[in-house]
Amino acid sequence: MVTGESFGYYGDYGQPEQLAKSYAKNFVYTWDFSERRQRYHGSDPSDCPSSQFVVFSQNHDQIGNRLKGDRFSHLISFEAQKLAAASVLLSASVPLLFMGEEYGEMAPFLYFVSHTDPELIAAVRQGRKAEFAAFHAEGEADDPESEEIFQRSKLNWNLRHEGQHQILWRFYQTLLKLRREVPAIAHLDRNSLEASAMPAEKLIKLRRWHQNSQILCLLNFNSPACASDFGTASWHLEAIAGFSSGSLGRPGFRPA
């Protein structure tokens, strides 16, 4: 949704309706046809509470298995990084934050190993080349056995106190504070949730509630600003920045 990538296994994803379904069902594929697999895939997880699911926008596999170990901070805009954070932290599942994403770490996370078996090292190198070929990645992969690769992947913790990195870090803190203190967000129950998509505008409307608490989150995955009718209910603007991949943010609301 934020990178626009469609190669490899990304080809099965990227539609607004799919993201809305993942909020409501936890799985995108619930015995639906997969173009990449050329078969029906998945199952219905309705008998499992949403609190049993861990969700994330980045993890060690998705970054470490890329040719250059590039993170969102290398691939998407600063505003889109905030959008990805909100998409994860306002869900009704347990969030996983990959080390450094909370302040937009700039060091890559490259694939590195420290094996002692020469045959295993050779197999890893060949396996990496085959995987990148499937993703049509251009260029040579770094040697996973190189100590330099390990050193280049270390975090720069001081970045969280600088410029936009500090802004992003505080944005994550604000979202986590809302997640703790707003009952509608803290209550992890997909049965108290509505998610819908406006595909043409690339907008997601996420509404969650618990007892007297209710929130409405509008996620704009479109680059230009979008004006859409989300109903006639009266809402109060919360004191938090908008969640948008474009130049104009979309604010968070609570009911009047």
**The pair of three-digit structure tokens given for residue 7, joined into one six-digit string:** 């190669």
| Residue boundaries of the structural domains of the chain | 8-108+153-255, 118-152
C-alpha torsion 25→222→56→129, nearest 10? 110
**C-alpha to C-alpha distance for 71 and 110, rounded to whole angstroms:** 10
> Tens digits of per-residue pLDDT, 101-114?
999 999 999 998 88
**The pair of three-digit structure tokens given for residue 12, joined into one six-digit string:** 């099965």
Residue 4: strand, helix, or coil: coil
Residue 217: strand, helix, or coil: strand
pLDDT at 250: 40
- Going 35 to 66 to 51 to 242, the CA torsion angle's sign is negative
> Tens digits of per-residue pLDDT, 8-39?
888 999 999 999 999 999 999 999 999 999 99
pLDDT at 170: 97
Whole-angstrom Cα Rg for the chain: 20
**Beta carbons within 10 angstroms of residue 99's beta carbon:** 13
Q: Where are the alpha helices (DSSP H) in the chain?
A: 16-25, 60-64, 72-75, 78-89, 118-134, 147-152, 163-181, 183-186
Residue with tokens 């190189």: 146
Note the pTM of the prediction, 2 decimals.
0.85
Instruction: Kindly state the DSSP code that residue 7 receives in the 8-state scheme.
Output: S
Instruction: Kindly state the DSSP code that residue 171 receives in the 8-state scheme.
Output: H
* CATH for 8-108+153-255, options being 3.40.190.10, 3.30.200.20, 3.50.40.10, 3.20.20.80: 3.20.20.80
- Do residues 222 and 80 touch, judged by C-beta distance below 8 A? no
Secondary structure E strands in 4-91: 30-34, 39-42, 54-55
Instruction: Return the amino acid letter for 74.
Output: H
Q: Which residues of the chain have pLDDT under 70?
A: 133-138, 224-256
pLDDT at 131: 74
pLDDT at 239: 43
- Do residues 111 and 69 touch, judged by C-beta distance below 8 A? yes
